[in-house]
Amino acid sequence: MIRVAAVGDVHFDRNSRGRLSRHWKDLEGKASALLLAGDLTQVGHEEEIKTLAADLAECPLPVIAVLGNHDYHMNQVDTIKGLLSEARVKVLDHSGTTFECSGKTVGVFGLKGFGGGFIGASCSDFGELEIKTFIHTTKNAARDLLQGLQSFNTDYKIALMHYSPTAETLLGEKKEIYPFLGSYLLAEALDAGGANVCFHGHAHKGIEHGATPGGIPVRNVALPVIGQAFKIYSLDELSKELNAELR
């Protein structure tokens, strides 16, 4: 039984020391890795990351993270990545990592993702350069996600991102902002790439459970949604859900 712990949108500020470490330190033996689905900070300040790194130092599990839009705010992404690497956090940015557990292999492909909206109400690459740049960012993310998932020769494939691949987990958010919360193009990549599950954050007012059109389980693990410092997921259980959907 392979389990991972996941949470997104922890939004640390420089006064957050101790807020989550008291929960994370109990993860020993409960999961193989802690996955962080972006928005690690309030505004992407290095002091915020240092505070988070101190809390993560008490987590006994390997930590795998993607960044979120908040982490980009101060344009200090390289500094943030460096500090996280020093804290032994594996930061995925259009890149992947693998680990082994109970004789099974797990691939995690991670990226921030981006917006664009969902079928019937989505942005297209027509018109102004700014609009084209916007949707090309998402298309590039979807392309890399697909290639990354296809490159894994592992028993399980996890997609870790900040933006949502489905409107299902956005339920509760204002419909007007859906195009800024995710894109269906990411779901197409998940389906074509054969992911077993996708974890995302960003939608604080959304719901936890969703799926891609192809039936891949999607979990919005934003902290305000799951209401706890992490939630543990069994990859076997999530795969059963996928197989049931496909039957």
Which residues lie near Fe ion (CB under 5 A)?
9, 39, 68-69, 202
* Nearest to Fe ion of 39, 55 (CB atom): 39
Residue closer to Fe ion (CB basis): 68 or 113: 68
SS3 179: helix
Q: State the nearest-atom distance from the C-beta of 2 to Fe ion, in Å.
A: 27
Q: Which value, to the nearest 10 degrees, does the dihedral of the CA atoms of residues 114, 120, 125, 131 take? A: -60
Task: Supply φ then ψ for residue 230, to 5 degrees.
Answer: -170, 160
Decide whether 68 or 193 has the Cβ nearer to Fe ion.
Answer: 68
Least distance between Fe ion and beta carbon 219 (Å)? 15
CA neighbor of 100 nearest in space, from 28, 199, 33: 33
Residue 224 CB, nearest approach to Fe ion (Å): 8
CB 73 within 8 A of CB 44: yes
**Is residue 191 within 8 Å of 214, Cβ to Cβ?**
yes
Report the distance separating Cα 178 and Cα 100, nearest Å.
Answer: 36
Listed residue (57, 65, 63) closest to 8, CA to CA: 65
Of 183 and 196, nearer to Fe ion (C-beta) is: 183
Smallest distance, Å, CB 118 to Fe ion?
A: 17
202, 183 contact by CB (below 8 A)? no
Q: Which two tokens stand for residue 136?
A: 């090309």
Name the residue nearer to Fe ion (CB basis): 192 or 207.
207
Query: Of 39 and 188, which CB lies nearer to Fe ion in the complex structure?
Result: 39
Query: Residue 161's CB: how many other CB atoms inside 10 A?
Result: 29
Question: At closest approach, how far in Å is the CB of 7 from Fe ion?
Answer: 11
**Least distance CB 97 / Fe ion (angstroms):** 22
Q: Which residue is nearest to Fe ion (CB)?
A: 39
